């Protein structure tokens, strides 16, 4: 057998061996079939506690959030301000949460970063809109402090041109707004 015929025969044999598994399964190949959009998973929302207002005092209220993560809890707080009910109100009307940052909390420059300690975070919030009232700061601060990993809350007023200074708040400065039959986080 000459060389060109041998190459052709080997190529045909090789092609036959490659095609044999596809033909041997008994299923004929088909074209692509459109079956509609891909499935979407929608989880059940998590119930979280936020602070709304009742008669000028902070009132813990359960609302739906995407997750118990502090970003989603604060997002739920601002969304709850638009649909308050049960004689509850809010001081967040006209305010928009523009950004949430989580950073490691270090109370002073000389503190140790012990890996055995639980993670503690500082949350920085940038809020746009009208003036941030004391009651609005109380709602934001005390809601964020409900999360055990949040040790400090900083709030800044954001404008289109620049962000105002970050001011640190604790829930303790708003204890005068505690519900008549309850208490607030530290």
Residue-level pLDDT at 38: 74
Match 């088909």 to its residue by tokens. 30
Pairing type for strands 46-54 and 57-65 reads antiparallel
Residue 14 lies inside a defined structural domain of this protein = no
Count of domains observed in the chain = 1
Residue 181 lies inside a defined structural domain of this protein = no
Q: Summarize pLDDT for 9-27 with one digit per residue, the tens.
A: 777 766 666 665 555 577 7
Residue 92 lies inside a defined structural domain of this protein = yes
Percent of the chain with pLDDT over 70: 79
Residue 184 lies inside a defined structural domain of this protein = no
Match 């041109």 to its residue by tokens. 161
Residue 141 lies inside a defined structural domain of this protein = yes
Are 100 and 122 in contact, with CB atoms under 8 Å apart? no
Containing structural domain, residue 80: 46-108+118-176
Percent of the chain with pLDDT over 90: 45
Say if residue 113's pLDDT is above 60: no
Residue 147 lies inside a defined structural domain of this protein = yes
Contacts of 51 (CB under 8 A, 6+ apart): 58, 59, 60, 61, 77, 138, 139, 142, 143
Residue 183 lies inside a defined structural domain of this protein = no
DSSP label at residue 163: B
| Residue 2 Ramachandran class (φ > 0 left, ψ -120 to 50 alpha, else beta) | beta
Residue-level pLDDT at 63: 92
Most confident listed range (6-20, 104-118, 151-165): 151-165
Residue 2 lies inside a defined structural domain of this protein = no
Average pLDDT, the chain: 82
């Amino acid at each position: 057998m000459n060389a060109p015929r041998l190459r052709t025969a080997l190529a045909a044999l090789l092609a036959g061996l490659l095609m044999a598994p596809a033909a041997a399964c008994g299923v004929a190949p088909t074209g692509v079939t459109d079956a509609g959009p891909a499935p979407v998973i929608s989880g059940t929302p998590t119930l979280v506690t936020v602070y709304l207002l009742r008669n000028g005092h902070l009132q813990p209220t359960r609302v739906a959030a995407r997750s118990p993560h502090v970003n989603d809890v604060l997002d739920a707080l601002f969304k709850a301000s638009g649909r308050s009910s049960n004689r509850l109100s809010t001081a967040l009307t006209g305010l928009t949460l523009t950004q949430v940052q989580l950073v490691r909390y270090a109370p002073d420059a000389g503190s140790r970063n012990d890996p055995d300690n639980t993670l503690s975070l500082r949350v920085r919030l940038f809020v746009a809109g009208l003036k941030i009232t004391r009651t609005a700061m109380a709602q934001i601060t005390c809601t964020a402090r409900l999360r055990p990993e949040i040790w400090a809350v900083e709030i800044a007023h954001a404008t289109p041109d620049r962000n105002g200074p970050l001011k640190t708040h604790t829930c303790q400065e708003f204890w005068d707004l505690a519900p008549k039959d309850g208490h607030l986080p530290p």
